[in-house]
Amino acid sequence: MKENPANFIRPFASSLYLVAALVVVLPMIDLVLTFWPFAPGSAEWRYGAVGLLSGFVLTPLMGMTLAVVIVHSIQSAAGIKVTSILNIAAGGVIGVATLMFILDALQVRGNVPLEGRGTFDIGMVKAILKNGTSALAFLWMGIVGMRAPRAGGSSEGGKPPIVLKHGS
């Protein structure tokens, strides 16, 4: 008989939640301290902040992936909902920031000397790809989590499944 993975993970769940939280939060603290003091009115500052995000975003994505694996393994309906909402929020914020980054990059690019534009353009494209794909991954995990079956077999957040009978 196959062992339920929840039986293996459940004793470690609280410590794994802490690890997942640290993997998410600590890089974000590092990121905020890197671009402190805040100057969101400056296109250069916004370009730099979102550009730096591209170097940090993979670690929190891995932390959220760990959290998702934990909550799904132990079949925590509340945990699935919370991680799904957090993933959708993160994906949305990163996606919007990336779109704004494109506009800021085009504005800042005009101030870059011609001999530095090739390097600037490569950095811009790398940041857009990293942030864009990370935003998609967060959104995907969140949407899949919202659609995932809950304990009891329902995939509609606790609503019983609709059963149609033919010929009654």
For the chain, the DSSP string reads -PPPHHHHHGGGHHHHHHHHHHHHHHHHHHHHHHTPSP-TT-HHHHHHHHHHHHHHTHHHHHHHHHHHHHHHHTT-HHHHHHHHHHHHHHHHHHHHHHHHHHHHHHHHHTTS-GGGHHHHHHHHHHHHHHHHHHHHHHHHHHHHHHHSPPTTS-SBTTBPPP---S--
Encode the chain (168 residues) as per-residue pLDDT tens digits.
Answer: 577 766 788 888 899 999 999 999 999 999 999 988 999 999 999 999 999 999 999 999 999 999 999 999 998 999 999 999 999 999 999 999 999 999 999 999 999 999 999 999 999 999 999 999 999 999 999 999 999 876 555 444 455 545 556 654
Q: pTM of the predicted model, to two decimals?
A: 0.83
